[in-house]
């Protein structure tokens, strides 16, 4: 009996020791795409590190991190927009990261850094703010720039989601950086005047509203359009057949590009594993997951894209604006929206 008890104690000790040595990573993610399961699974398979994940929208995650403070278990914070990444950085929710791998593979304009300091976050995939139009009612030449959407000739034709949504705030933040506050406010005022209906719904809703004729033209992130292109549903195929797609401002500053990115949480209990995960996100394998899974472009220029639907949209000229600058302009962007009544 004594021998049996000693054996059980020994086994329990081994079990506890193994549990103590188990590597884990706690991720707070605003990404909610089922296709990301392959992304997380690939990391665990490579490293043996178990991922614990909490998913919510950006605002909810930021609020949770504020409430948890120094006791937060978060190791990695994943956000899907430049404005939210900047807010997390501005509130001190990230910590600087020193990684030769990340510095080499992620372009400088997709790194959240202050001069002379290590980056606090990195962009790992990009998505473009495109224009879609009703092919039966609208000429593409009338809506091939962001500026033309605010032209009086498009009165009663424009649909967008809420101006206060991060995707719109980032577009306006980019305009402020390129055109200045006065010009951007004039554009926002023209957009309000041209609305076919009050802003509502998500980007997919805007595309469908254009197809139905409720709107003549709308803004959407590119991956929503590609998602409908890849759908086998007859109703989605019908939508794509009625809608044209435009890369805006190809003769000018280029199309606005936003970013999904991540950083190491300020109080990360597993900092080494968190940096390892960020470096994994910059690997060719993970970069292809972003492209093939959620129809986004890899941040790493050398990464291969295995997504014929995404490829079919062709190459385009992207704007050359720092993602960090776009984030910093979000407060001014919101003030502009409030002044012109862009709900």
pLDDT confidence tier of residue 135, bands split at 50, 70 and 90: very high
Q: Do domains 23-125+259-304 and 127-256+319-340 have the same CATH topology?
A: yes
Structural contact between residues 109 and 278, judged by C-beta atoms closer than 8 angstroms: no
What span, in angstroms and rounded, lies between the C-alpha atoms of 157 and 134? Answer: 10
pLDDT of residue 268: 97
Given a cut of 70, whether residue 11 has pLDDT beyond it is no
Q: What percent of the chain has pLDDT over 90?
A: 73
Q: Where are the domains of the chain?
A: 23-125+259-304, 127-256+319-340
What span, in angstroms and rounded, lies between the C-alpha atoms of 199 and 215? Answer: 11
What span, in angstroms and rounded, lies between the C-alpha atoms of 70 and 266? Answer: 8
What span, in angstroms and rounded, lies between the C-alpha atoms of 240 and 238? Answer: 6
SS3 for 36?
A: helix
pTM of structure: 0.85
Given a cut of 60, whether residue 254 has pLDDT beyond it is yes
Superfamily per CATH, domain 127-256+319-340: Periplasmic binding protein-like II (3.40.190.10)
- C-alpha pair distances (Å), 307 with each of 203, 226, 291, 298: 21, 10, 7, 12
Please state which CATH class domain 23-125+259-304 belongs to.
alpha beta
CB neighbourhood size of 189 (10 A): 16
Structural contact between residues 110 and 122, judged by C-beta atoms closer than 8 angstroms: yes
Structural contact between residues 207 and 218, judged by C-beta atoms closer than 8 angstroms: yes
pLDDT of residue 113: 79
Antiparallel, parallel or unpaired: β 121-134 and 76-79: unpaired
pLDDT confidence tier of residue 3, bands split at 50, 70 and 90: very low
Tell me the DSSP string of 149-191.
HTSGGGTTTEE-S-TTSHHHHHHHHHHHHHH-HHHHHHHHHHH
Tell me the DSSP string of 254-308.
-B-EEEEEEEEBTT-TTHHHHHHHHHHHTSHHHHHHHHHHH--EESSTT-----H
pLDDT tens digits, one per residue of 140-199: 999 999 999 999 999 999 999 999 998 999 999 999 999 999 999 999 999 999 999 999
> Can you say whether the dihedral through the CA atoms of 266, 269, 270, 271 is positive or negative?
positive
CA 86 to the chain's CA centroid: 12
What span, in angstroms and rounded, lies between the C-alpha atoms of 294 and 221? Answer: 12
Region 330-342 average pLDDT = 95
Residue 336 makes CB contacts below 8 A (sequence gap 6+) with 172, 176, 181, 184, 185, 188, 342
Element (H or E) spanning 14, and its range? helix 2-21
pLDDT tens digits, one per residue of 59-104: 899 999 999 999 999 999 999 888 889 889 989 999 999 999 999 9
Q: b or e along 260-289 (b: 16 or more beta carbons within 10 Å of the residue's beta carbon)?
A: bbbbbbbbbebeebbbbbbbbbbbeebbbb
Region 23-38 average pLDDT = 88
Average pLDDT of the chain to the nearest whole number: 90
Tell me the DSSP string of 52-79.
EEEE--HHHHHHHHHHHGGG----EEEE
């Amino acid at each position: 009996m004594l021998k049996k008890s000693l054996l059980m104690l020994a086994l329990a000790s081994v079990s506890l020791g193994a549990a103590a040595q188990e590597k884990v990573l706690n991720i707070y993610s605003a990404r909610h795409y089922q296709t990301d399961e392959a992304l997380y699974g690939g990391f665990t398979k490579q490293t043996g590190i178990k991922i614990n994940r909490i998913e919510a929208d950006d605002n909810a995650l930021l609020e949770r991190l504020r409430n948890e403070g120094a006791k937060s278990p978060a190791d990695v914070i994943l956000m899907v927009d430049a404005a939210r990444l900047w807010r997390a950085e501005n509130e001190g929710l990230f910590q600087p990261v020193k990684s030769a791998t990340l510095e080499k593979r992620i372009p400088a304009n997709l790194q959240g850094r202050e001069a002379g300091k290590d980056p606090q976050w990195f962009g790992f995939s990009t998505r473009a703010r495109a224009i879609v139009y009703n092919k039966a009612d609208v000429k593409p030449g009338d809506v091939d720039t962001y500026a033309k959407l605010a032209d009086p000739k498009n009165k009663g034709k424009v649909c967008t989601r809420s101006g206060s949504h991060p995707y719109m705030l980032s577009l306006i933040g980019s305009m402020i950086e390129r055109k200045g506050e006065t010009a951007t406010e004039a554009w926002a005022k023209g957009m309000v005047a041209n609305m076919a209906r009050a802003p509502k719904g998500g980007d997919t809703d805007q595309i469908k509203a254009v197809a139905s004729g409720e709107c003549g033209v709308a803004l959407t992130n590119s991956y929503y359009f590609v998602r409908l292109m890849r759908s086998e549903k007859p109703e989605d195929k019908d939508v794509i057949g009625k809608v044209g797609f435009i890369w805006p401002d190809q003769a000018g500053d280029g199309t606005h590009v936003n970013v999904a990115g991540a950083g190491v949480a300020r109080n990360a209990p597993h900092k080494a594993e968190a940096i390892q995960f960020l470096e994994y996100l910059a690997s060719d394998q993970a970069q292809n997951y972003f492209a093939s899974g959620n129809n986004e472009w890899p941040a790493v220029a050398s990464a291969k894209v295995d997504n014929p639907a995404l490829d079919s949209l062709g190459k385009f000229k992207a704007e050359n604006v720092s993602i960090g600058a776009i984030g910093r302009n979000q407060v001014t962007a919101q003030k502009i929206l409030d002044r012109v009544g862009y709900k």
